[in-house]
Amino acid sequence: MKDSSWEKTQKKLYAMVSTGVVDSGLNQFYDIISTLALVANLVCAFASTFDNLDAKYGLIFDYVDSITVLFFAIDYVLRVITAEQQYRGYPAGKAIARYVTSGYGIIDLLSFLPHYLPTFFPAGATVFRMLRVVRIFRLFRINAYSDSLSLIGNVLSKKKTQLLASVFVIVMLILASSLCMYSVEHEAQPDVFKNAFSAIWWATSTLLTVGYGDIYPITVMGQILGIVITFLGVGLVAIPTGIISAGFVEEYQLATRFADIEQEQDVRFIKASIDPGDAWIGKTISEVAVPSGSIIALVIRDGETIVPNGDVEILLGDKLIICAESATEGMLEDVKEIILRKNHSWNGQKIKDLDISRQTFIVLVDRDGKMLKPHGELVLEENDKLLVYTKENISKYTREPLF
């Protein structure tokens, strides 16, 4: 069944607001405007803290802030009404709730809401002004363009359990250290170690190796305790650092292993052009009935190469590359094949969990002679053959006359 007019509009709007989707000029333009709006807002926020600049350009700063915040508000509304496209398979209400309560949803909301709240709650103007700093986290959306930025997120996500455990241990040690130091130093320095919180301040600055020196022990027992706690702090703070470092090494090894296990194979493809009157026009990839043993691997549209999922709509003028078990004409060669041998790190993993370059796409999984369409939830198994395209290959083919 064809999508309704509203569903098609939702898909176009979602593609527009999704950072990194550059299959049309409008989507690229929106990404540029979104980035410029954020940068302009942050620059004006910093510049306005200088009295001489604020006195001279304060009105301009206010105008820029108002315009960019209005853009953030419109962007948030667009993301809310297209949440069904982001969370496919969920009812509209649940999809919206998932977006609104997600990390990005909260950041997007706080990007504009504090600007308008003082109008209704003047007493909280200072607090609302502090919340505006959340806008800077919108910069993380540009990781859609960078494997390096994405790598940081992957490491933190994969190591979150170990990091949380190390933070928990540090917090417990801070509490224990503060209570011990309070017990030892309170009588000698009642004005300095007034309560447990004063001791927590000392324990935190000591354990985290900051050592401001505004609070320090003067008794012999307190100084001995301070030496022990300082040594413990050096070791504990090194734990999360080591975890993150190990995570980066693992990610790098995965990337290099991917290059090491590539095998050159000749894979043949059928090429097809969508002309006026074709029955596939207006249908999504999932609605198209291709012959058994075949899969639509790539869509070339207006010079851009798209690795399609089931929701990509076929348009007039598209050029399709269909992977088949056998093709006698229209061949593209030099596709990479990866065979998952025993003990390979990808065995048992879902495709969405693999850490591969954004320039690399799995377009086909051959399992015991059966061709499977790759999707995020597909679990890879031993002896699977993965057919892989890289953007280098795609760029090479699109520069040459394919059709």
The pLDDT, as a whole number, for residue 326 is: 43
The pLDDT, as a whole number, for residue 399 is: 36
Looking at 16-20, 198-202, 280-284, 301-305, which range is the least confident one?
301-305
Strands 360-367 and 385-390: antiparallel
The pLDDT, as a whole number, for residue 71 is: 92
Q: Quick one: how far is CA 352 from the chain centroid?
A: 13
Q: If 0-12 CB within 10 Å is exposed, 13-18 middle and 19+ buried, where does residue 38 land?
A: buried
Average pLDDT over residues 74-96: 86
Q: Which of 57-61, 324-328, 379-383 has the highest mean pLDDT?
A: 57-61
Q: What is the mean pLDDT of the chain?
A: 77
Span 263-399: which CATH code? 3.30.70.1450
* Topology adopted by domain 5-145: Four Helix Bundle (Hemerythrin (Met), subunit A) (1.20.120)
Q: What's the pLDDT tens digit per position in 331-344?
A: 344 456 778 877 77
Q: Where in the chain is the domain with CATH 1.20.120?
A: 5-145
Average pLDDT over residues 392-397: 42
- Cβ contact 16:32 at 8 Å: no
Q: Where in the chain is the domain with CATH 3.30.70.1450?
A: 263-399
CA–CA separation, 192 and 156 (whole Å):
38
For residue 146, give both structure tokens.
């960078």
Please list the residues that pair with 300 across neighbouring strands: 305, 319
**What are the φ/ψ torsions at residue 21 (nearest 5 degrees)?**
-90, 105
* Topology adopted by domain 160-260: Helix Hairpins (1.10.287)
Which residue has better confidence, 136 or 57?
A: 57
pLDDT band at 49 (very low <50, low <70, confident <90, very high): confident
pLDDT band at 63 (very low <50, low <70, confident <90, very high): very high
Q: Where in the chain is the domain with CATH 1.10.287.70?
A: 160-260
Best CA proximity match to 296, nearest among 220, 304, 287, 96: 287
The pLDDT, as a whole number, for residue 214 is: 76
Average pLDDT over residues 47-54: 88
Best CA proximity match to 313, nearest among 49, 85, 59, 42: 85
Looking at 49-53, 211-215, 239-243, 273-277, which range is the least confident one?
211-215
Which residue has better confidence, 125 or 235?
A: 235
DSSP for 206-275, written as a single string: HHTT----SS---SHHHHHHHHHHHHHHHHHHHHHHHHHHHHHHHHHHHHHHHHHT-EEE---EEEEE--
- Cβ contact 105:99 at 8 Å: yes
Q: What's the pLDDT tens digit per position in 167-179?
A: 898 889 888 988 8
Cβ neighbors of 226 (< 8 A, separation 6 or more) are 181, 206, 216, 217
As a residue count, the chain comes to 403
pLDDT band at 254 (very low <50, low <70, confident <90, very high): low
Q: How many CB atoms lie within 10 A of CB 53?
A: 15
Q: Quick one: how far is CA 178 from the chain centroid?
A: 38
- Cβ contact 195:202 at 8 Å: no
